[in-house]
Amino acid sequence: MKRVLSLLLSAGLCISLMGCNNNLTVKQPVATDPPESVAPTTAVTPDPNATPDPATEPIDFTKNIVEYASGLSQDTVLLTVNEETIPADVFLYLLFSGYTQFQYTYYMYTGQTLPDVSLYSADLEADTVTTLVYYSTLRQKAAELGVLPTEEQLQEIRDGLTQSQGTYTYEQQKTLNGLTDAGMEYVASLNAYYENVLNAVVPEPTDEELENFVYQTKHILLTTIDTSTNEELSDEEKAEKRATIEKLLADLQAVEGEEREKLFEEYMETYSEDGRDTEGHINTDGYEAVVGDMVPEYEEASLALPIGGLSDIVESTYGYHIILRGPVTYRENTKEEYATTYREHQLDTMVADWAADESMTPVKAPELEALDLNSFFIRFSRYYNQLATEYMDAAQAAASDAGTDSDAGSDSGAGTETDAGTDTSTDGQ
């Protein structure tokens, strides 16, 4: 998990994500032609005790977004981590942020909106709990190490929030995100906690540490799965591919140096079943990766090789690999950027160890257990969308009015200046 990236200032959080399809779980009736004649029916009186449909009910803007969407007050404690309590405003803000990000990712991969958010609600809640355990661990470790955010850092955070020149004012951001002043500062200060703990416990990596973290490889892959279905090939097909890759390995082991690298690239182009470009060519430049990027079998074998080393046959969930390790060329990122990634990876590993302590086990409040997540997502989306649209329309109207006033002032001034012999028209500038 990396640093929080200004979630508070992500203008149009929901509006920009395909309108957040507010009817995600509402099955719409199929339109049909009416019959030629319709028998009279008795009017049905709505049941006053029926549960309102969150996708169509009137939005109650007399309530804040948290209260309307969840029925909870903003200060209701929803989670406790080692005696640190997480109020509803922070928890539900992060929950909804995760929902919109997931909705966006789903759309990018499938080209469709979520068919039924209830299928993913439990996972989204679990991800939010994991995120808050991570940051609660960081906050508590910062206190333990004596590296809490300084007053200077906190003041800079407050100034950044209140002086934001983004789409919405500070008060509008609070209203849209359902956060109190304390909630706004909580979320915005997470980066400061992260940086302070990072600097306290993870030094810059040595060259040897970086060499064991960043690696560059080429590989020949013969797949043992049908890539279109992800189903395993038959034993006969696997045996045939195993025999082929054993022959390729023997040929590569028989040569060394530049001759081996040249032959390796020829075999990649001829035999490898890794992805190819639109012209059918393989990526003979290989992969530049860091720890955690590749499947474990591939990563372990790659890091065990010296520069220029050739692996034996490595079997992974994708198939049979032969790996050739080369020097890192830093074509993807600079050495300094990889050093930052290394430090973040080290801190993530440490936080995972700290969070594994029994004292950090999260305790969910009954109010969270009882929350109807599906209705919450729909209500929060509708409230946010409508209010954000009103804010944006008002801002555009104000900007238009300001432009009209400015134009009127310019026209008046232009007449005076023209009389004085000065051309102030747009064309003359």
Q: Which of 33-37, 85-89, 144-148, 406-410 has the lowest average pLDDT?
A: 33-37
Minimal CA–CA distance to 199: which of 148, 140, 273? 148
**Listed residue (78, 74, 123, 80) closest to 101, CA to CA:** 123
- Domain ranges in the chain are 56-201+335-414, 209-332
Q: Average pLDDT, stretch 257-263?
A: 95
Question: Which pLDDT does position 49 carry in this prediction?
Answer: 63
pLDDT tens sequence across 190-221: 999 999 999 999 999 999 999 899 999 999 99
Average pLDDT in the 223-240 region? 92
Distance CA(93)–CA(13), nearest Å, equals 11
Dist. CA 194–CA 173, nearest whole Å: 23
pLDDT tens, 347-356? 999 999 999 9
pLDDT of residue 331: 84
Of the candidate ranges 16-20, 53-57, 127-131, 292-296, the one whose mean pLDDT is the lowest: 16-20
Q: What is the pLDDT at residue 409?
A: 56
Q: At the top level of CATH, which class does the domain 209-332 belong to?
A: alpha beta
88-145 pLDDT per residue, tens? 999 999 999 999 999 999 999 888 888 888 889 999 999 999 999 999 999 999 999 9
The confidence score (pLDDT) of residue 48 equals 58
- Burial of 11 (C-beta count, 10 Å sphere; 0-12/13-18/19+): middle
Residue 424 has pLDDT above 60, yes or no: no
% of the chain surpassing 70 pLDDT: 82
pLDDT in the model for residue 174 = 95
At 39 the pLDDT is 43
- Over 80: is that where the pLDDT of 332 sits? yes
pLDDT confidence bin for 239, thresholds 50/70/90: very high
Between the alpha carbon of residue 79 and those of residues 70, 182, 289, 319, the distances in Å are: 15, 16, 37, 43
Alpha carbon 318 to its chain's center = 26
Please provide the average confidence, as pLDDT, over all residues in the chain.
85
